[in-house]
Structure 1
Amino acid sequence: MVAENARNQNTAHSLDELLNDVPKNQTIGDNLIRAWNIINNDKYETIVCSVSGGSDSDIMVDICVRVDMHHKIRYVCFNTGLEYRATKDHIKYLEKKYRIKIELFEAWQHGMTIPKACTTYGQPFLNKTASEFISRLQKHNFKWEDKTFEELYAEYPKCKSALMWWCNLKPGKRNNISWNKWLKEFLIANPPAFTISNKCCEKSKKNISHKIKCDLMIIGVRKAEGGARASSYKNCYSQKDGETDEYRPLFWYTNDDKQCYEEYYGIKHSKCYTEYGLKRTGCCGCPCGRNLEFELEVLKRHEPNLHTAVCNVFKDSYEYTREYRAFCNEMNREQKIYYQITIDDFIK
């Protein structure tokens, strides 16, 4: 691996200069050319790059610094109220490494922290889509019944979209409750006793970012990540009439492309990756995380105060998530037994 700072990290003065030092990787080469052309386009006078301190964000910042010939980019990051200490330290490291200013937006000043949002609106559960529709159903005092859409719509006439989700009638598999195996059965058997909501991310980050005026917003989304956020985009660049355009420099990067860039340019990631062993650093301690239990163990070991905080903020959701996972395991076990009995019946 190339030692950190071994390669020139200064901004290139021309496209030829930029391409004089690139790895033999088609995706990275094409990406740098595209980044140069978009960021240095005269139509963009104000550009904002949203920095998270995550591994994708690290590469995005490196690309931006290399191609921003006119130094138009304003770097910003958001403190949601639940951030890793290692991430905060890494933001300072990036400022020093690239000689840039990363403007910190505090949720408590500009919006609402995650703890406050969870207290006010409810805690997230499973994923953003499920949290949104469960929240809507809760607001209508839904009884968690397995009835037809027609029957339920007659009873809850102002809750059509959430009822369509509940009855698996929305277009796209991902937009229905069946996308999460056994969720409907679980909710019927174990109705939530606490308020569920997906407002925490919206109030602590999204709403604040929308207040930042610019011509172009640069964000770190990769198609290879999967998930609802990545699948909502078709390409790396969105031009919006009358609105802020959006550029996603890493959109086409595979994991191999990402590793190639890291090794060639000597990208150093935060301790969340290098010491804690985390693979991703989204919202800290989020109940929707795939590796929730591992992340909680990491927090307990490396950042105990933050571990205490998330266990208080997301207490109800953590317990409910564990109940749901145990329910799924039991249902899968029973289903396996049922299918085995069915097969045995055929071979007697």
Structure 2
Amino acid sequence: MNNMLDYELTLFDRINVIRDTIKKYGEENFYISFSGGKDSTILHHLIDMAIPENKIPRVFINTGIEYKAIVDFVQSLAENDPRIVMVKPSRPIIKVLEEYGYPFKSKEHSCKLHEWQLGHHAPSIISYRDKERYGCPKILKYQFEEGFNMNISHFCCHKLKKEPAKKWQKENHKSIVITGMMRAEGGQRNTLSCILTNRSGKVIKFHPLAVIDKEWEDEFIQRNNIQLCSLYYPPFNFKRTGCKGCPFALKLQEQLDIMEELLPTEKAQCEIIWKPVYDEYRRIGYRLKKENS
């Protein structure tokens, strides 16, 4: 970082925010949403720094479409840390996609298109369809017309991640989830607050990394000699992990190219799981190279 003082002040602030928040609401009420990625690994270490010997569970949802290296990384941590909890969804990815529909472009697009396919033509959906800016891309407007028959929805993440997490949370009597989400990720997270409450004012989410940026993260990793999943190092050099081959990924073609060279078996799995979406992306030349190009 350009200013080491900024790093130290941010670290001091985050440690105190974590310590004060968890003390105020009770350590026994918290759990960490642990993906095995860079942000949640930093969060895992930062909370230990703020509250040594804490017993806060780190809950990893193994959706079946996590990178093998991520699963291996989480399992290796679990061997020496009983706080790591591994949870699986009740249904496999293929069954979820067949029943609820495939993700396409983004959560917003998939949500709006899903509602449209159900016959809901609310003003917000029509506005999204017709807007030139911040709406449906011109190349995808045909999906709101007759003849487009692929079942689209935004439920994939909900069914594979959120529902299993909520079920575990309820069964284990936890009321507050700690996440590694950051404003620096952009999009809808630009206005992310550190504390999120429900309508009755009860705290339900804690985002201690909300004000952190990537530069600070890198400094924290270097200073504390933190080991990340192997995907973040050469020859992979991933910037993000998440569900492999997810159609929401902006750099999907780049991701698949890397997988084809270095993770061919996992790339082949993605081609099977996401086939209808990949076929359509390639047909129209959106996010993936156009057919025969």
TM-score, normalising length from structure 2? 0.84
Structure 2 vs 1, CA of residues 30 and 187 (structure 1 numbering), >3 Å: closer, same or farther? Answer: same
Equivalent in 154, 159, 162 of residue 203 of structure 1? 159
1:118 matches 2:75? no
Following superposition of structure 1 onto structure 2, how do residues 52-91 of structure 1 map, counting pairs within 5 Å? 52-69=35-52, 71-91=54-74
Counterpart for residue 321 of structure 1: 281
Q: Distance in 2 between matches of 1:258 and 1:298?
A: 24
Counterpart for residue 101 of structure 1: 83
Asked whether the equivalents of residues 44 and 216 of structure 1 are also in contact (C-alpha less than 8 Å), the reply is no
1:35 Cα shift?
Answer: 1.0
Following superposition of structure 1 onto structure 2, how do residues 284-295 of structure 1 map, counting pairs within 5 Å? 284-295=244-255
1:53 Cα shift?
Answer: 0.7
Q: Distance in 2 between matches of 1:316 and 1:190?
A: 18
RMSD: 2.9
Asked whether the equivalents of residues 40 and 69 of structure 1 are also in contact (C-alpha less than 8 Å), the reply is no
Counterpart for residue 345 of structure 1: none
Asked whether the equivalents of residues 60 and 250 of structure 1 are also in contact (C-alpha less than 8 Å), the reply is yes
Q: Distance in 1 between matches of 2:256 and 2:180?
A: 25
Structure 2 vs 1, CA of residues 286 and 71 (structure 1 numbering), >3 Å: closer, same or farther? Answer: same
Moved more, 118-127 or 41-50: 41-50
1:315 Cα shift?
Answer: 0.8
Asked whether the equivalents of residues 123 and 195 of structure 1 are also in contact (C-alpha less than 8 Å), the reply is yes
Counterpart for residue 193 of structure 2: 235
Say which one has the larger Rg: 1
Q: Distance in 1 between matches of 2:246 and 2:9?
A: 36
1:324 Cα shift?
Answer: 4.1
1:260 Cα shift?
Answer: 1.1
Following superposition of structure 1 onto structure 2, how do residues 30-69 of structure 1 map, counting pairs within 5 Å? 30-41=13-24, 43-69=26-52
Counterpart for residue 19 of structure 1: none
- Deviation string for 1:275-328 (max 9, x for gaps)? 422111122110110111121122233333322221111111112223444599
Give SS of 2:57's match. Answer: strand
Asked whether the equivalents of residues 178 and 184 of structure 1 are also in contact (C-alpha less than 8 Å), the reply is no
Equivalent in 116, 123, 135 of residue 137 of structure 1? 116
Equivalent in 231, 237, 258 of residue 272 of structure 1? 231
- Structure 2: runs of 5+ lacking an equivalent: none
Asked whether the equivalents of residues 81 and 115 of structure 1 are also in contact (C-alpha less than 8 Å), the reply is no
Q: Which has the higher contact order (CA 8 A, sep 6+)?
A: 1
1:259 Cα shift?
Answer: 1.0
Asked whether the equivalents of residues 216 and 246 of structure 1 are also in contact (C-alpha less than 8 Å), the reply is yes
- Structure 1: runs of 5+ lacking an equivalent: 1-21, 141-157, 169-175, 331-348
Give SS of 2:15's match. Answer: helix
Moved more, 43-52 or 84-93: 43-52
1:34 Cα shift?
Answer: 0.7
1:208 Cα shift?
Answer: 1.6
Following superposition of structure 1 onto structure 2, how do residues 153-168 of structure 1 map, counting pairs within 5 Å? 158-160=120-122, 161-168=124-131
Counterpart for residue 28 of structure 1: 11
Q: Distance in 1 between matches of 2:144 and 2:125?
A: 15
1:102 Cα shift?
Answer: 1.0
- Deviation string for 1:216-257 (max 9, x for gaps)? 2101101001123x23x4321223437552111211111111
Counterpart for residue 150 of structure 1: none
1:70 Cα shift?
Answer: 6.2
Count of residues in correspondence between the two structures:
279
Structure 2 vs 1, CA of residues 198 and 239 (structure 1 numbering), >3 Å: closer, same or farther? Answer: closer
- Identity, in percent, stands at 24
Structure 2 vs 1, CA of residues 42 and 219 (structure 1 numbering), >3 Å: closer, same or farther? Answer: closer
Give SS of 2:240's match. Answer: coil
